[in-house]
Every structure is written in C-alpha cells, then in structure tokens.
Amino acid sequence: MALLGTGVIGGGWAARLLLAGVDVRLFDPHPGAVATVDSALERARRAWAGLTAVPLPPGGSLTVHGTVAEAVAGAELIQESAPEREAVKRPLLAEASRAAAPDAIIASSTSGLRPSLLDLEMERPQRFVVAHPFNPVYLLPLVEVCGSPRTSPATVERAVAIYRSVGMQPLVVRREIDGFIADRLLEALWREALWLVADDVATAREIDDAIRYGPGLRWAAMGTFLTYRLAGGENGMRHFMAQFGPTLEQPWSRLTDVPELDDPLLDKLVAQSDAQAAGRSIDELTQIRDDCLVGVLRALRDQSFGAGEVLARTERELLARAQSVDGSGPAAGADGRLVLHHTSVVPEWLDYNGHMTESRYLHVLGDATDALLLQIGIDTVHGQSASGYYTVETHIRHLREAHLGERLYVATQLLGYGEKRLHLWHELYRHSDGALLATGEHLLLHVDRATGRTAPAAEAVLAALAEIEADQRSTEWPEAAGAHIGGR
C-alpha cells in the first residue's frame, strides 16, 4: 500500500500495516517522516506484544519515495493522511489519482471533510473513499468508511475487506455528512466540555475525571444506546424513554450554548491542560495511554465483546495464516528442540518489583504447550478440536527474573508419550542474552471432549508425535527432568 503523509495518523497507519505484514510505500516530503514511522512502529510492536500471544506475520517492508507518482506505483490502496485542509488534500488526491493504477483504491484519512469535496479533481472518482481511523491507529480498530455519491459500491466493499484484513473494524457510513458519525459525537461532547471550562463550572481535569471514572468505562464496553437500554430494564428502550422522557428532553433542548473560542478561553484551556499533565511528557502519556488501551482491549477480548471481538477475530486469522504459511516444518533449535513460542513481557505480567510474576511463567509455558499442540493438530486456543490434552502435573524451576519488554522464547522437548499421555519439557529463554529463565516439566492426558474422559489420541496426532520424537532422538535428556522439589 502507499501512504501519503505521516504525522500522528499516517505514522499510525504505517505501523499497523507494517506489523500486519503489508509492504508500505511512503511519500512525505517532511524530513522527520521516517523517524515518525519508526517511533510509531516501535510503540505498535510493544503494544501488540502485550495484546496477543498469537504469532504475528513477518513484518512488511517500508520504502520511501521522493514523488507521489513513485510512491503510488503498483499500490492496491493509497491512503492519504495530509493536514486537514481541503486545499492540501484535494490536489494531492488528484495527483495520486493520475499516477495510480486504474483499479487502485484511493482513500483519505480526513476526520471531517466530505468526500464529495475531496474527489472533485480526481481521475476515476468512483474508486475514492474516506477511511477515517482513530488515534492510535495501530491499536484502535475503528475506521469509518464513507463514499461520495460518485463512489462505486465495489470500492466500498473492497476497502472494507482490506481494512478488515489488517485487524480493523470498518464502519460504513450510509451517507455523506460533515464529521461522519464518531466525530459528530466527539465534537458534541467536546463542545459541551469547552463550554464548561469557559464558564468555570469545571476544569479540564475534572471533566476528564467525570468521564473516566464513570460513563467512559461504559462507553468502552457498550456505547450509548446499549448502555441506556440497560437502564430501562426488561421493557427496553421505550420504557427508558418514557421513564426519562421529560427529564431527558429538557437538557438537550435547553443546554445548547456554544462557547466562543477566544484568547481567554484558549489561555485557560492551555493552563488547565498543563496542570493535568503534571509535567508528564507526551511520550510518557502516550505510553500510559497505549498500556491502558492494551489492557482494555485484552479485557474485552476475554469477554469476546465489542472491540475485544475484533481482536479475537484478528487473532484467529493470524493463527490461520501462521499455520498455512508453515510449509517448512517446525522451527527447531540447534539441539533438535522445537522453538514454537515467542512472546514479550507486558506490563500486566509484572509484580510490584517489576519482575514477571510467578503465574505468568506458567502462562508462557502453557502457551508453548498450546503451540506444540497446534503443531500436532490440536487447536486449544479456539476450541476447534474434538479432543484436547489436559495438564495434570507441572514442575517449574524459576532460575532468573524476566523484566518488562524482554523478548522470550520457549524451547520444547518431547520427553515421552503414549496413546493418552504426553510428557513435555520446556525451557524458557530470554532472547537478548540467551539466558535460561525457567524450566517446566509437564504431564498431560488426552481427553475426549464429548465424554470428558481420557481417550487415545487420533492416529494423525500420534504420528506427529512420533515424528517429533524421531527428530529429537539425539537431543540430550534434561538433567533436571524427573526431579522433585529441591532435589534431583
């Protein structure tokens, strides 16, 4: 894909695409453009390491081009993220349309300009859409897709498929409107917030607190209509409207004052925003925001709800892709051990000391077991197998601490197996210095899910195990295997 313009939004697009394994062709005359992409990519890598244990595809490549024509050459989709001014975007989009392949989709990241104003000078405007993402683009799944009256339905359909393929949730806007959907809601709230600041009812900090300690938590999960539906009880939305009708109508018909954005308001706003930041840099705040978003997205993923559903879907697709590209057999260490699981230490795995907490060692070792099971044909992550292996016994030795952000991998050895039994040895290593952090010895039994009882594994599974055993015939037996606590 081609990206025109970086900045916060363009850099976020680059990071999302590169992480998703998409090659990016960049045009941005600004001298800091590549640094912007690098820094977004670094943030995105860290965030995704915390977001999922599913392996990401090999990263895409970034090439930088000196002209629009060179950047868009051969691109399937061209994403424009130039400054939010019609006078800048319109000629840039026109230039891209003249150089692009005839069937390339041309998309604008505009957060509010109508597509029918932006496509006026384009060649083939039927392949133009607005695709409005949200900051940070590499984490938030939403992208609003909105065509002009000239946009062809096929263009919208193709654009939706492309954005979905990089883990996003496209929301097709039914018809052109200033600000699309999300920004109209954002603006309405923002207008009211500014009015409260202007009138000294509340400070920036207090207004943010009024959101993040209360309604903002519900918005993250459910939005506004579903939240209110719950307040109506079993009788639903009509009951809610009847119950709160008069009270509800009063404020929205009365409270429509609009603040004037003059210098005193600006000064007040700046002072309050500085006070709220309390000396924390944008870099620190951005890190905090990303860590919070990762945690929130993971929490919603565990419920398979809202934005968490998008993450779960993306993980299933990544998993399918990782399995399908794996034509070269399992990755094997020099000693014949299998290296099937890589991960990074994320903030929520830490204890108060900044070390990975003990149950996360078993979490990582368990993920390595899942990776081995996937290798022999049993998908434990998405429950698509009729049988599974259950761990009955585990012996962990903690040898060294793991810290935030460290990349880890697990080397796995098959100690033995039978029709119903699997005996595994995991060694958890730190990537940077190859230090052995922990060992895990695990005994698993094969269980038929329908009956809940142990049962022989399928022939194909046993054959895969036999193959691994043969490959590891010369691998040394781990000295510490078979030990009891504190002994050999």
**Is 462 strand, coil or helix?**
helix
435 binds a copy of itself (CB under 8 A): no
Q: Strand 128-133 relative to strand 24-27: parallel, antiparallel, unpaired?
A: unpaired
Q: Which stretch binds a copy of itself (CB under 8 A): 68-76, 115-123, 328-336, 357-365?
A: 357-365
Cα–Cα dist 299/228, whole Å: 22
Nearest to 72 by CA among 111, 113, 20, 127: 127
- Of 337, 360, 426, 430, which lies in the binding site for a copy of itself, with binding defined by CB under 8 A? 360
Q: Would you list the DSSP string of 170-190? A: EEE-SS--TTTTHHHHHHHHH
Q: What angle do CA 426, 429, 435 make, to 5 degrees?
A: 130
Please give the residues from 258 up to 287 whose contact with a copy of itself meets the rule CB under 8 A.
Answer: 258, 261, 266, 269-270, 272-274, 276-277, 281-283, 285-286
473 binds a copy of itself (CB under 8 A): no
- Of 39, 116, 165, 394, which lies in the binding site for a copy of itself, with binding defined by CB under 8 A? 394
**Is 2 strand, coil or helix?**
strand
Query: Nearest approach, Cβ of 67 to a copy of itself (angstroms)?
Result: 26
Q: Which stretch binds a copy of itself (CB under 8 A): 58-66, 157-165, 406-414, 480-488?
A: 480-488
Binding mask 113-142 for a copy of itself (x = CB under 8 A): ---------------------xx----xxx
How many alpha carbons lie under 13 Å from residue 298 in its C-beta half-sphere? 18
Please give the residues from 149 up to 188 whose contact with a copy of itself meets the rule CB under 8 A.
Answer: 169, 171, 173-175, 177-188
Please give the residues from 209 up to 228 whose contact with a copy of itself meets the rule CB under 8 A.
Answer: 209-228
Q: What is the CA radius of gyration of the chain?
A: 27
5 binds a copy of itself (CB under 8 A): no
Q: Which stretch binds a copy of itself (CB under 8 A): 64-72, 158-166, 289-297, 325-333?
A: 289-297
Cα–Cα dist 197/207, whole Å: 9
Torsion angle of C-alpha atoms 362, 363, 365, 371, degrees rounded to 10: 160
Cα–Cα dist 375/338, whole Å: 10
H-only helix segments in 199-306:
204-212, 215-222, 225-231, 236-254, 263-277, 282-302
- Of 66, 102, 254, 264, which lies in the binding site for a copy of itself, with binding defined by CB under 8 A? 254
Size of the site for a copy of itself (CB under 8 A): 159
Query: Nearest approach, Cβ of 141 to a copy of itself (angstroms)?
Result: 5
User: What is the DSSP code (8-state) at residue 350?
Assistant: B
**Is 399 strand, coil or helix?**
coil
Nearer to a copy of itself, 157 or 206 (CB): 206
Nearer to a copy of itself, 186 or 332 (CB): 186
59 binds a copy of itself (CB under 8 A): no
Query: Nearest approach, Cβ of 75 to a copy of itself (angstroms)?
Result: 25
292 binds a copy of itself (CB under 8 A): yes
Query: Nearest approach, Cβ of 172 to a copy of itself (angstroms)?
Result: 8
